[in-house]
Structure 1
Amino acid sequence: MHIAQGLFKAINVNKCIKMGRGTFIFWVADWFALMNDKLNGDINKIELVGEYFINVWKAAGMDMSNVKFLRSSSEICLNAERYWLQVLDVARCFNINRVQKCCQIMGRNLSAAQILYPLMQCADIFFLRADVCQLGVDQRSLL
């Protein structure tokens, strides 16, 4: 994430909170970063960067009154059966070619973990019971 994204996210969350628009859940996607080999797969560094992102949003003036930060690793472990059944349900709906379209940004030589990545992202929307979900343009193909 770059500074403009952090500021834009803080501004939009604050506007929605002022209008009384529910709770905002930020998925601190530590396992997703691990699957995508961010920071050379060092989970300690990945967790530190997750905390950094939270502090960036706070420093940008995000109103934290209706904001929750959930670490994907913790939530998945706490709700493993429900989460993985959701991932399997999503996986059954798509063929491998469709899933690979969502992985184009990751390159050609995908690891098995990178194939799981878009399936888990799609399942996250249902798992978190999200009404609105902000994704990057690379993630539009699966939805």
Structure 2
Amino acid sequence: MSRRDICVVIRTGVDSDEQERVRGTQQLRRLLLQSGVEGARLLRNGETSDGAKAGDAVVVGALIVSLAPAVLTSVVAMIQSWSARAAGRTVEIVEDGRSLLVSGLSEEQQRELIADFRRRWSAAADEETSDGRAPT
């Protein structure tokens, strides 16, 4: 299976301000780039995870991350660890209308959710291939 783009949405808590969200987004982006993803860039206003309809403004707290399915488990574990380091942080991973909230999970819950996410990811890729469309 080839590279996929996911959207990573960061929420830093009700007591945080925009500067804190910007710092958190930058910090998580650096960690993602060090973790083996192919790319991590700021989401543009109106853009979807496939890059469609990009506007000029950056969406604070949202990244488009390009990765191979093989690194999904380690990326989710790293995001979970990062979100647990500060009170109120939550991270949501969105891909093709499916989402996974990666915050406050036990290891078992994390494994189950990742397995489900990967099954849905694989099923979507199989469906795209059977439709004659190339997977992204």
**TM-score using structure 1 length:** 0.31
Structure with the bigger percentage of strand: 2
Structure with the bigger percentage of helix: 1
**TM-score using structure 2 length:** 0.32
Q: Which has the higher contact order (CA 8 A, sep 6+)?
A: 2
